[in-house]
Amino acid sequence: MPGAPSVLAALAFTFGPPAPQVSLADVTSVPAAPGLVTMTGSSAVVGSGPLRRFAIEVERGARANPVAFADSVERTLLDPRGWTGAGRLALQRVDSGVVDLRVTLATPRTVDRLCFPLHTAGFADCFNRGRAVINIDRWTQGTVPYAGALGDYRDYLVNHEFGHGLGHGHEQCPGPGRRSFVMMQQTGTTFGCRRQPWPRASEQRLPLVPPRILVLPGTTPDDGGAAGVAFLQALGAPDRRLDVRVLAGPADLTRAALKRAAALVLLDTAVPAATVRRFERAGVGVVSLGSAAGDPSAPAVCRRRGAARVVSDGAGSLATDWTTFPHQALVAGALAWVLGLTERRPCR
């Protein structure tokens, strides 16, 4: 029965890593939201490689043709010129079940609400909390750099905001007169570059940029550090949802490591408080387990520290902790929450 430690579970860890009983895709599935209508429709899987499922939704009452919007978004995302073009990503449109990303058409006021704390000022679009949010004014009116090419601009909007959902940040103009990248902002200006509504080959070759998780395990042979590392690696392996990097010791928590980290997981090991605070100030989520969290009998605690989300839980000190469903679900939920992939707090 899931959730109960057993002799069989302990033996399973003895001969191999703890098999995840939870799915990160399930934990991070983007729920529907009030006032947004999920458009009916699905597709076959297009492309090869890790699979991401997307749904398309339109704000109720928005002055746009919702079916035409859904058809246009589906065509763009499944076009071989898009993110699936290099054969390293698969996409599928869905209208129920697990949804990795949602593409949402909304009025300016709703865009500002869905994008907060990002500043869209009733004008821009964004990606936030699993949604590629498209401003209806930009969708219907276009913008100056794409004057006379509304169809191309729509392709850019969808590919750009969806690209953020795949983990991409912004690119810079490579030089005057040169083709821009789809991940370069092109709504206000193209900075002297030529406009580019589709991912370039270099972007297609690396379609997924999963969040980097730094893991610092304990050092004693009978603690849960090794089991925790094995679980996290297995949790992130399917469909490349996490980039798990195991550190040798606290000395590896450098400023260089901080720059690319999305979350820090401390497994039964003490780290100077000042070091942890430095990560938190940079907005890096922190999950502290076992003795790293302090009292092993205390329940999980979720809190915010500035831009960072922090979860502490005393469980995880023993290898057998990692074979139980409740602990696996707690850790998967904690990671998803500190990464901003879900708003569901994992704390008991």
CA 340 to chain centre: 7
- The whole-number pLDDT of residue 130 equals 96
Residue pair 103/222 in contact (Cβ under 8 Å)? The answer is no
Domain limits, the chain:
7-17+210-338, 31-204
Structure tokens at 341: 């992939």
- The whole-number pLDDT of residue 9 equals 36
Q: Is residue 197 scored above 80 in pLDDT? A: yes
- Among residues 151, 154, 196, 149, the alpha carbon closest in space to that of 172 is found at 196
CB atoms within 10 A of CB 266: 27
Structure tokens at 74: 């589906």
- Counting Cα atoms < 13 Å in the Cβ hemisphere of 184 gives 22
How far apart, in whole angstroms, are the C-alpha atoms of residue 139 and residue 152? 11
C-alpha distances in Å from residue 79, one per residue of 53, 73, 339: 15, 10, 30
Residue 310 CB partners (closer than 8 Å, separation 6+): 280, 285, 286, 287, 288, 302, 303, 304, 338
How far apart, in whole angstroms, are the C-alpha atoms of residue 112 and residue 122? 6
Query: Given phi > 0 = left and psi -120 to 50 = alpha, else beta, which region is 192?
Result: left
Written as one letter, the residue type at 12 is A
Residue 271 CB partners (closer than 8 Å, separation 6+): 216, 250, 253, 292
- The whole-number pLDDT of residue 222 equals 54
How far apart, in whole angstroms, are the C-alpha atoms of residue 109 and residue 263? 32
Q: Is the pTM of this model over 0.75?
A: yes
- The whole-number pLDDT of residue 179 equals 95
CATH of domain 31-204: 3.40.390
Residue 323: pLDDT band with limits 50, 70, 90: confident
The mean pLDDT value of the chain amounts to: 90
Q: Which is more confidently placed, 24 or 5?
A: 24
Residue pair 316/228 in contact (Cβ under 8 Å)? The answer is yes
CB atoms within 10 A of CB 167: 16
Arithmetic mean of pLDDT, 255-259:
89
- The whole-number pLDDT of residue 221 equals 54
- The whole-number pLDDT of residue 33 equals 96
How far apart, in whole angstroms, are the C-alpha atoms of residue 346 and residue 338? 10
CATH topology of domain 7-17+210-338: Rossmann fold (3.40.50)
Q: Over the stretch 43-53, which tens digit does the pLDDT of each residue have? A: 999 999 999 99
Q: Is residue 348 scored above 90 in pLDDT? A: no
- Among residues 89, 164, 98, the alpha carbon closest in space to that of 125 is found at 164
Q: Is residue 7 scored above 90 in pLDDT? A: no
How far apart, in whole angstroms, are the C-alpha atoms of residue 167 and residue 197? 18
